[in-house]
Structure 1
Amino acid sequence: MRGKLLHFFNYFFGKGDVEEFRYFSLAHLIPILILGVILFLIIKYRDQLAKSPREEKNRIIISVIMIVAEMSYFWRLLHPDLDANVYDHLPITICGIANVICAFMLLTKSKKCFDIVYFLVLGTSINAIITPAVLTYCGPTRYRYYQYWTEHMMLFISVFYMMFVHKMRPTWKSYIPSVAVLVSIGLLAVFANWLLGSGYTPDNHYTTANYLFINAVEDGFSIANFLPSNPWLKWLCILGIVSVLYLLPYIPWIIIDNRKKKQSPAKQTAE
C-alpha cells in the first residue's frame, strides 16, 4: 500500500517524458470555458458581490488561493525527479510576479496595483492561456496542470473582480507603471540569463538559463517561435509586440469614454 501511494505521488507531482498536453484539446478548452463562465458571473452579479457582507472574505479567499497556487509550484520542486535548479526555477516570470501583485491588490484594494496588473494580465498573460507551452509534458493527470490553470485563471478573475465589483478602471497614466514593471522583469530575466549562463543541474543535466524564453524556444508552440534567435533582437521584438498587446485592453475604455463625450453635449442641448 505504501509503495503504491509513493508511486502515485511520484507520478502526480512529477512530469512525463512524452507529450501529454495538446493545444485546443479538451484539456485546454475546458479550463478556458470555466474561466469564461466565472468572468461572466462576476460581471452579471457585480452589484450583489459588492454589497455582500462576505465581500472582504471573498477577496481574502481569492488572494490566498493565488498565493498557495504560486507557492505550490516551488513546493512541487522538492520532488527529486524534477531536478530543481537556478537555471530553470527562479521566480522570474511575468505571470508569477503578476500573481503576487494581484494577491496584494485584492487584500488592500490598491488602485496602483490594479493599474499595473490590468495591462500586465490582459496584455501579456493572455498568451499563457492561448499557448501554455510549459504544459507539454504535464497533462490532466499531473499536479502541474492544475497548478498552472489555477494560477493563470485567478489572474483574470482578480482583475475582473476589481474592475466590475470595485469599479476600478485604467487610465493612460496606468500604462506607464505597468510598462515599467514589465521592462524591469525583462531586464531582470536578461541579467539572470547572462549571469547564470550554462551549467550542470544537480542531476548532471547540461542546461542554459532561459528566463522569459529569451535565449531559446521552449518545447511547445508559442509566439516565441516567430521571433529571431538573437537575444537582443528578440527582446526588441518582444517590446514591440507587447506595446501593441498593451494597447488592446485599453481600446474598450477609449470607446466608452468617446461615447460619454458624445452623450454629454446631447444632454446639454436637450436641457
Structure 2
Amino acid sequence: MEPQTAPELSFVWYEMEHWLWLIAGATSTFLWIRIGKAQRNDQKQQQLGLIMSLIPAILWIGIALYMVFYDDPFDIGLVLPFHVCYFLNLLMPFMLWRRSYFLFEISYFMVMGGCIQALITPDILTTFPDYINIRYFVVHICLVQSVLYAIFVFGFRPTWKSFGKSLLWTNIYLLFVICLNALLGTNFMYLKEKPTTTTMLDLFGEWPWYIIGGEFLAFAIFSLLMLPFMFSRKKESG
C-alpha cells in the first residue's frame, strides 16, 4: 500500500467516488479504442497510442517529482516506480509507440491480472482530489486501457508462449525487487508485508507463505486470462 498521511476523508470501496472512477475509466477506454480503430494507418494508431499512454506516465513522474521537492521528508517508496504497475506504466509508451508485441506479451498478464484487482479492491486511503488518489486510479485505469488498445486496435493476441514469457519475466522482476527492498527498506510488490486492505493474498497467511501462495495464484489468474483467446480461436477454426 502507498503510505500516506492520514486524510480527513478515507476512501471507501464502492461508494460514489469509486463508481465514478470505474465509470470514467470504462468510458475513457471505449473512446480511445474507438478513435484508434478509426485511424486509417498504423502510424496514426501508434501515435495516438503513444499520446494516450504518455498521459499517465507524465502524471506519475510529475507527482513523484512534486513529492521529492515538496514533501519533507518524502517517502522513497512513493517516488520510485518499482511497484510492478508503476514500472509497467513507464513502459506502455514504448509498447504502443513501437508497436512492440514482446512488451505486450509480458505486460498483458501482469496488467490484466494485477490492475483489474487493484481497481476492484483499491489499496488506497485518500480521496479525490488528493494527488495519491489521482495517481493511483489514472495509472491503473490507463494500464488496462493501453493493453486493451493493443488488443482491439493493433490486433495483438497472447499465446501460451506469451504465458510462459510473462511468468518468467514476472519472477525475474520479483527477484530484482526482493533485492531492492532489502537494500532500500521498501515494500515494493508487497514482498515484505501484505497490503493492509483485504486482498486474495490473505488466503495464504503471513510472510513468506503469502508470497508462495501468490505464485500459484498468479499461475491460475494468468491461465484464466488465456481463456477468451482460446475460445475465440476455436470459434474461428470451427
Amino acid at match of 2:230: I
TM-score when normalising by structure 1: 0.77
Distance 1:95 1:154 in 2: 10
Using the TM superposition, give the Cα deviation of residue 27 of structure 1 relative to its aligned residue in structure 2, in angstroms.
1.3
Corresponding residue for 1:154?
Answer: 142
Shift in CA distance, 88/102, structure 1 to aligned 2, threshold 3 Å: closer
Using the TM superposition, give the Cα deviation of residue 140 of structure 1 relative to its aligned residue in structure 2, in angstroms.
0.7
Correspondences of 1:7-156 after superposition (within 5 Å): 15-17=5-7, 20-42=10-32, 47-49=37-39, 51=41, 54-78=44-68, 80-81=70-71, 83-86=73-76, 89-133=79-123, 135-136=124-125, 138-156=126-144
Corresponding residue for 1:177?
Answer: 165
Provide structure 2 residue ranges, at least 5 long, that are not aligned to the other structure.
none
Distance 2:90 2:37 in 1: 26
1:99-158, Cα deviation, whole Å (9 max, x unpaired): 12212101111111111111111122222111221x21x201312211221111111111
Aligned length: 235
8 Å CA contact 1:120–1:178 kept in 2: the answer is yes
Distance 2:80 2:35 in 1: 39
Provide structure 1 residue ranges, at least 5 long, that are not aligned to the other structure.
1-13, 198-208, 263-271
Amino acid at match of 2:15: S
8 Å CA contact 2:50–2:96 kept in 1: the answer is yes
Using the TM superposition, give the Cα deviation of residue 52 of structure 1 relative to its aligned residue in structure 2, in angstroms.
8.9
2:190 to 213, 219, 224: 213
Distance 1:210 1:37 in 2: 33
1:10-36, Cα deviation, whole Å (9 max, x unpaired): xxxx84345521111111111111222
8 Å CA contact 2:202–2:210 kept in 1: the answer is no
Alpha carbon RMSD of aligned pairs, Å? Answer: 2.5
Shift in CA distance, 56/211, structure 1 to aligned 2, threshold 3 Å: closer
Residue aligned with 2:68, SS: coil
1:192 counterpart = 2:180: yes
Residue aligned with 2:161, SS: helix
8 Å CA contact 2:29–2:145 kept in 1: the answer is yes
Corresponding residue for 1:257?
Answer: 233
Residue aligned with 1:78, SS: helix
TM-score when normalising by structure 2: 0.86
1:137-193, Cα deviation, whole Å (9 max, x unpaired): x20131221122111111111111111111111111111221122112211222233
1:217-257, Cα deviation, whole Å (9 max, x unpaired): 333332333332122x2221111111111112210111011
Corresponding residue for 2:202?
Answer: 225
Shift in CA distance, 256/82, structure 1 to aligned 2, threshold 3 Å: farther
Residues 39-48 or 15-24, more deviating = 39-48
Shift in CA distance, 36/17, structure 1 to aligned 2, threshold 3 Å: closer
Distance 1:177 1:72 in 2: 32
Using the TM superposition, give the Cα deviation of residue 44 of structure 1 relative to its aligned residue in structure 2, in angstroms.
5.3
Residue aligned with 1:166, SS: coil
